[in-house]
């Protein structure tokens, strides 16, 4: 379970993580269809965000801060990642389209303060379409998250889970 809470109070000297100019420019260039095909732009994007070169990045990918760790052979699809806290994504993961990983929320008692919790996604995980993963969630290895799910709590390894809120539907057995 992830208990690391990071607080960003406004006006108290703590700056929220964000992309620098070069990172914003690379993401913008990569979103343009003709530039999306230029390999050196993808290499620069991977280098700037510390992504393995084996990472597959779709045109709609956006990362709000360079606070991410991705394993080899992962496909990020059309994924929006708000990474005020670290996001860990394992090896051989696949993100389909229109997904979000959100690591932060506002503190209800002091709305100007942002609180963030890390998100951990294991190896061999498939995040299907329109999935939202909320702060502090851990998704185990060999798991599939069904379309339209909102993941609010930890999901164990080796299951198919779906719904809003996301719940385990059944165990699955991957055959290699």
Exposed, middle or buried by CB within 10 Å (0-12, 13-18, 19+), for 112?
A: exposed
161 half-sphere exposure, CB direction, 13 A CA radius: 29
DSSP 12-53: SSPPPP---HHHHHHHHHHTSHHHHT-HHHHHHHHHHTT--T
Q: Which of 16, 43, 106, 171 is catalytic?
A: 106
Whether 106 is a known active-site residue: answer yes
- For residues 123 and 105, the answer to whether their CB atoms sit within 8 Å is no
* Cα 145 from Cα 143, distance rounded (Å): 7
DSSP 166: T
E strand or H helix at 57: none
Active site residues: 106
């Amino acid at each position: 379970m992830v208990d690391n809470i990071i607080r960003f109070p406004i006006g108290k000297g703590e700056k929220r993580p964000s992309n620098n100019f070069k990172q914003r420019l690379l993401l913008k260039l990569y979103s343009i269809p003709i530039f999306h095909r230029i390999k050196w732009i993808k290499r620069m994007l991977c280098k700037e965000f510390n992504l393995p070169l084996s990472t597959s990045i779709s045109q709609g990918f956006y990362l709000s801060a360079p606070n991410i760790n991705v394993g080899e052979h992962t496909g990020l699809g059309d994924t929006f990642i708000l990474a005020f806290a670290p996001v860990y994504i394992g090896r051989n993961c696949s993100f389909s389209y229109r997904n979000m990983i959100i690591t932060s929320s506002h503190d209800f008692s002091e709305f100007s303060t942002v609180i963030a919790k890390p998100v951990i996604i294991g190896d061999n995980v498939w995040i299907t379409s329109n999935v939202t993963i909320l702060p502090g969630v851990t998704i185990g290895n060999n798991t599939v998250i069904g379309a339209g799910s909102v993941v609010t709590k930890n999901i164990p390894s080796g299951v198919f889970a779906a719904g809003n809120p996301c719940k385990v539907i059944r165990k699955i057995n991957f055959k290699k």
